[in-house]
């Protein structure tokens, strides 16, 4: 019989999420497999560049790249000592040492070591980036061509590193241990999120082999260490250029040689139109050894096609775009387990600052006028309420998740206005721009976003805005590219519960700051936030960020993301979606296949 339960709600972010039994030490049955139907396509192995920061990429790298820590079933930061250890050596100054375990190995047999850690530091601290380099033209060239070379001797790791935040505060060259297994970094200021500051390392020897044309694995790893340690800017320019774009699928000739794994699974095959096949990594001996030998990720863009595929047994599990139609289709099926609820991702519309297609929103009066036309409540009632019922609500904060501490106070302090067409017209008259043009970017192949665009465009036109449909299937490649659009509808996924998680979106030139917003006040608030461990003070600082974003008419949050996951319990077990990304695949090594 079909069963239904609610995913852990956003009000219980700290609550325990059930996790089923892990895998056996003997390894997976060679015949065991699971097929996942998804519309999220893999496009890059590097998830910390602007173009690579996508759910379809994180769903894969979660299974292939190990790290020192991850979030466990209770959403607590948990160490993975089978990969290595991260430990605080001193508080003043803050000194942190990373040590890779003796068993940590890349899937080509190369040990994970100092070169991988040092490249990770260089890329995410920005310490070696060329000062005052303006990446605007470079990023535009990357967007247009898929890859572009940096100017000679210009070093630029496009990770969104900032000198006053996170690893940007660890600008001194790290110390490497004699055995090549440890890296020690020193911060100029203390930060609260030091445990999760370093992203999963990428294979440094692969970067050097491609960027510097070094053949042997050992020599390539040493070339990275030499370039960083000696500040060889000629070599670093090539290294950073390749790091930025070399892991993008469109630029990879040999995925099996480029997409090396340090985690439980390794990528076997990639078809950009059909999907990805992963298999258990024979070189992996860590704590997340899988119980399923083969994972087939199949691309199905149409949510209805995903429902049909899981019903017919073509795939074992789906987590499609949650629309009323999908909810209705799944409700009619008796043999599936369906999990519904809300997750920490949220839909929003961002307005471009300073480099938009038409320059429409350079004037704050026009920004304010446009926000008065957005039918937030109607969008929720039509598109979200049929899925999750009474839990559907507009999201009224940029930085707080509904149900978490601080949300109610911040949302009540300056609630977003209801639709006010007369007020919008008055503001446009005051601005002297009666018919401003607004090109709105969104995923044209996403039914819910297409419906949102239609509702927003219809409402805005009543106030005099001339709205252009700039929806495209390739919307992600255009995000953040100057001159391409005036506003964008998409979602932010929260993959971290760190105190400054939202900094990457709203701080000046931060990695996920895609609309050119810049506020000295907001930047200072995030700096203060990174240095305090007092939860109450952090909440107050976040509330101040919320107020500043509203006052600047940054854009508008729309709603908390609904989620639907469906699977046949007779074929698969262990599936337990969580509220932060990756929601579905975070514990795939614990899944069990019955076929």
Segment holding 63, helix H or strand E: helix 55-64
Q: Give which of 86, 69, 87 is closest to 78, Cα–Cα.
A: 69
Q: Percentage helix, strand, coil, to 5, in the chain?
A: 35, 20, 45
What's the whole-number mean pLDDT along residues 306-330? 93
Does residue 521 share a domain with residue 377? Answer: yes
**Which CATH number do you get for residue 246?**
3.90.76.10
Phi, psi of 126 (to 5 degrees): 70, 10
Confidence at residue 499, expressed as pLDDT on a 0 to 100 scale: 63
For residues 325 and 303, the answer to whether their CB atoms sit within 8 Å is yes
Q: At 561, is the pLDDT very low, low, confident or very high (cuts 50, 70, 90)?
A: confident
The residue among 201, 234, 254 that closes a domain is 254
The size of the chain, in residues, is 595
534 occurs within a structural domain: yes
Same domain, yes or no, for 213 and 349? no
Tokens of 117: 């850690």
pLDDT in tens, 474-518: 898 899 888 999 999 999 987 777 666 788 899 998 888 999 999
- Is 568 inside any structural domain? no
Place of tokens 């996951």: 565
Q: Provide the percentage of residues in the chain whose pLDDT is more than 90.
A: 73
pLDDT tens digit sequence for 218-265: 999 999 999 999 999 999 999 999 999 999 999 999 999 999 999 999
Mean pLDDT value across residues 292-306? 95
Q: List the CATH number of the domain containing 475.
A: 3.10.105.10
The predicted structure's pLDDT at residue 21:
33
Q: Do residues 94 and 213 share a domain?
A: yes
Per residue in 3-28, pLDDT (tens digit) is 444 443 443 333 333 333 333 456 79
> Within this chain, do residues 106 and 210 fall inside the same structural domain, yes or no?
yes
Name the residue among 554, 588, 558 with its Cα closest to residue 573.
588
CA pair distance 298, 272, nearest whole angstrom: 10
Stretch 309-335: mean pLDDT, rounded? 92
End residue of a domain, out of 226, 254, 282:
254
> Token match 């049909």: residue?
308
Question: CA angle at residue 29 from 26 to 33, to 5 degrees?
Answer: 135
Query: Which residues, 6 or more positions from 3, have their beta carbon under 8 angstroms from its beta carbon?
Result: 337, 338, 569
The confidence band for 78, taking pLDDT boundaries of 50, 70 and 90, is very high
How much is the CA Rg of the chain, to the nearest whole Å? 24
- Does residue 350 lie in a domain region? yes
Asked, for residue 18, whether it belongs to a domain, the answer is: no
Torsion of CA 95, 100, 106, 109, to 10 degrees: 140
Looking at 525-584, which runs of residues are DSSP E strands?
555-567, 572-573
| CA torsion angle 16 20 26 27 (round to 10) | -90
* pLDDT given at position 500: 64
Residue 186 is predicted with a pLDDT of 98
Q: If DSSP codes are grouped into helix, strand and coil, which group holds residue 26?
A: coil
pLDDT value at residue 136: 85
Looking at residue 305, what is its pLDDT?
A: 95
Last residue of a domain, one of 230, 254, 278: 254
128-164 pLDDT, tens digit per residue, is 999 999 998 898 899 888 899 999 899 999 998 989 8
Instruction: For residue 260, give every residue at least 6 positions away whose Cβ sits within 8 Å of its Cβ, in sequence order, or none.
Output: 106, 107, 108, 110, 203, 206, 266
Closest CA to 105 of 194, 19, 246, 205: 205
The CA distance from 328 to 387, in Å, is 8
Contact 54, 47 (CB under 8 A): yes
3-state secondary structure 207-247: HHHHHCCCCCHHHHHHHHHHHHHCCCHHHHHHHHHHHHHCC
Alpha-carbon torsion, ordered 350, 355, 358, 362, to 10 deg:
70
Report how many domains make up the chain.
2
- In the predicted model, what is the mean pLDDT of residues 413-436? 91
Q: Over the chain, what is the mean pLDDT?
A: 91
Note the pLDDT of residue 304.
92
Contact 392, 385 (CB under 8 A): yes
Q: Is the pLDDT of residue 391 over 90?
A: no
Tokens of 373: 């036309």
CB 369 within 8 A of CB 431: yes
Four-residue CA torsion sign, 139, 210, 100, 70:
positive
| Higher-confidence position of 223 and 327 | 223
Reference 561, options 347, 375, 401, 383; nearest CA is 347
* Nearest C-alpha neighbor of 476 from the set 222, 242, 146, 151: 146
**What is the Cα–Cα distance from 71 to 272, expressed in whole angstroms?**
30
The pLDDT of residue 423 is above 80: yes
311 within a domain of the structure (yes/no): no
> Does 482 reside within a domain?
yes
Distance CA 303, CA 558 (A): 22
* Residue located via tokens 């560049």: 49
Predicted TM-score (pTM) of this structure: 0.84
Residue 580 domain flag: no
Where does the pLDDT of residue 119 fall: very low under 50, low under 70, confident under 90, or very high at 90 and above? very high
Q: Is residue 305 part of a domain?
A: no
Q: What pLDDT is attached to residue 240?
A: 98
pLDDT (average), residues 301-318: 95
Domain hosting residue 106, numbered range: 79-254
Chain centroid, CA 4 distance in Å? 28
**Do 239 and 360 have their domain in common?**
no
């Amino acid at each position: 019989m079909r069963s239904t339960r609610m995913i852990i709600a956003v009000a219980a972010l700290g609550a325990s999420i059930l996790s089923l039994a892990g895998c056996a030490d003997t390894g997976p049955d060679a015949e065991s497999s699971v097929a996942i139907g998804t519309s999220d396509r893999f496009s890059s192995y590097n998830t910390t560049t602007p173009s690579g920061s996508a759910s379809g990429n994180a769903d894969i790298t979660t299974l292939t790249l190990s790290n020192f820590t991850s979030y466990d079933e209770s959403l607590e930061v948990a160490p993975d000592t089978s990969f290595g250890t991260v430990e605080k050596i001193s508080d003043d100054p803050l000194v942190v040492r990373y040590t890779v375990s003796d068993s940590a190995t890349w899937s080509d047999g190369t040990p994970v070591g100092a070169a991988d850690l040092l490249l990770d530091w260089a890329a995410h601290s920005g310490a070696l980036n060329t000062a005052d380099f303006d990446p605007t033209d470079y990023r535009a060239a990357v967007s247009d061509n898929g890859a572009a070379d940096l100017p000679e001797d210009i070093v630029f790791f496009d990770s969104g590193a900032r000198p006053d935040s996170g690893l940007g505060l660890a600008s001194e060259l790290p110390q490497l241990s004699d055995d090549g297994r440890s890296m020690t970094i020193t911060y100029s200021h203390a930060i609260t999120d030091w445990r999760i500051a370093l992203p999963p390392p990428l294979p440094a020897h692969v970067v050097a082999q491609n960027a510097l044309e070094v053949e042997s694995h050992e020599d390539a790893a040493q070339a990275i260490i030499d370039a960083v340690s000696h500040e060889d800017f000629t070599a670093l320019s090539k290294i950073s250029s390749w790091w930025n774009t070399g892991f993008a699928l469109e630029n990879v000739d040999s995925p099996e040689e480029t997409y090396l794994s340090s985690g439980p699974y390794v990528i076997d095959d990639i078809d950009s139109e059909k999907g990805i096949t992963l298999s258990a990594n024979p070189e992996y001996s860590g704590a997340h050894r899988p119980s399923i030998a083969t994972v087939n990720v199949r691309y199905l863009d149409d949510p209805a096609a995903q429902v049909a595929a899981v019903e017919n047994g073509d795939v074992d599990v789906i987590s499609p775009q949650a629309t009323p139609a999908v909810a209705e289709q799944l409700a009619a099926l008796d043999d599936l387990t369906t999990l519904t609820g809300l997750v920490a991702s949220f839909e929003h519309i961002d307005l471009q600052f300073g480099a938009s297609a038409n320059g429409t929103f350079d004037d704050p009066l026009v920004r304010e006028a446009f926000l008065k036309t957005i039918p937030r409540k109607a969008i929720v009632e039509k598109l979200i309420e049929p899925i999750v019922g009474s839990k559907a609500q507009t999201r009224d904060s940029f930085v707080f998740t509904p149900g978490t501490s601080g949300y109610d106070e911040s949302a009540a302090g300056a609630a977003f206005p209801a639709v006010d067409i007369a007020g919008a017209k008055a503001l446009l008259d005051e601005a002297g721009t009666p018919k401003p043009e607004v090109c709105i970017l969104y995923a044209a192949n996403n039914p819910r976003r297409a419906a949102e665009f239609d509702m927003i465009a219809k409402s805005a036109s009543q106030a005099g805005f001339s709205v252009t449909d700039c929806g495209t299937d390739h919307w992600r490649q255009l995000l953040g590219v100057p001159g391409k659009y005036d506003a964008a509808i998409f979602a932010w996924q929260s993959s971290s519960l760190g105190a400054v998680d939202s900094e990457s979106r709203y701080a000046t030139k931060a990695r996920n700051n895609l609309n050119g917003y810049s506020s000295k006040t907001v930047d200072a608030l995030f700096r203060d936030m990174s240095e305090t461990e007092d939860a109450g003070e952090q909440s107050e600082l976040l509330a101040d960020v919320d107020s500043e974003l509203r006052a600047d008419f940054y854009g508008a949050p729309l709603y908390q993301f609904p989620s639907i996951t469906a699977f046949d319990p007779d074929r698969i077990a262990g599936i337990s979606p969580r509220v932060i990304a990756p929601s579905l695949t975070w514990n795939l090594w614990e899944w069990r296949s019955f076929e």
